Structure 1
C-alpha cells in the first residue's frame, strides 16, 4: 500500500490554491473548478471544495474549515533559512520561525489561510540526515 494524498476541504479553493502555489512553488493541476492537486515527488496535496464531500456521503458541515488543527502538513526542504527568507513577508500567521528541534531538524511552522498548520523542515543533525537519507 502507498500513501497517495492528503485532501484539504475548503469553501475557497482558488484562494487556498493560490497560497500553496506560492508556498510550494508548484502549479496546481485543476481537473475541475472544485478540485485541485499539487503533485509532488513524495505525495499529492489535494484541495477540494466543501461541495465535493457530498460525493463521499459526508455532510459539508462535518468537513468544515479549521477542523484539522491537530494535523500538520510537513514538507522536507533543502534550505530552511532560504525558505524562511522567501516566505517571511508572504506568510501572515507565523507560529514559529526557524528553530532547531531536539530530534535534529531545523523547522519553521506557520498557518495557511484556512488555519491549517504547515511545517517546513530541514534535517541538520547527522542522525536526522541519516534517517531521511534512508527514506529516499
Structure 2
C-alpha cells in the first residue's frame, strides 16, 4: 500500500488487526500476520487518496466483535455487518487513506 503517512496508516492496521511489528519507521513498514504480509510504503510521490480501485478483505472470527471494536475506535463504517446469501457475514469501512476494507466471517 502506498501512502503519504506510513506511521498513521501502519498504526491503524496494527490496531485493527491486533498486530505489533515493532516498527515506527516513517518510510516503510511491513506488517505480518500468519501467511499474510501487508507492506505500507511512502515512495516519495504525492498520493491523492482517491483509492477507488482497491479494497482489502480480511476473514475474521467474530465480525460483530470486530464491528464493535471499530466503532469504539471511531472508524468510519460504510456498511454494518450483514449476512449475505452465500453464507458470509460482511461489513466494510474506510482506513485513514479511505481505502475500502472488508471484514467477513463465516461463523454466524
Which interval holds the TM-score relative to the shorter structure?
Answer: 0.7 to 0.9
Match of 1:122 in 2: 105
User: What TM-score results when the alignment is normalised by the length of structure 2?
Assistant: 0.87
User: What TM-score results when the alignment is normalised by the length of structure 1?
Assistant: 0.70
- After the TM superposition, which parts of structure 1 deviate over 3 Å for at least 4 consecutive aligned residues? 29-33
Q: Which runs of 5 or more structure 1 residues have no equivalent in the other structure? A: 1-7, 52-59, 126-136
**Which is helix-richer, 1 or 2?**
1
Rg (Cα) greater in structure:
1
Deviates more, 1:23-32 or 1:97-106: 23-32
Partner Cα separation in structure 1 for residue 83 and residue 41 of structure 2? 34
Q: Deviations over 1:52-92 (max 9, x none)?
A: xxxxxxxx25xx24243222111110111111112212143
Aligned-residue CA RMSD in angstroms? 2.0
1:15 and 2:8 are equivalent in the alignment: yes
The count of residues paired between Structure 1 and Structure 2 equals: 108
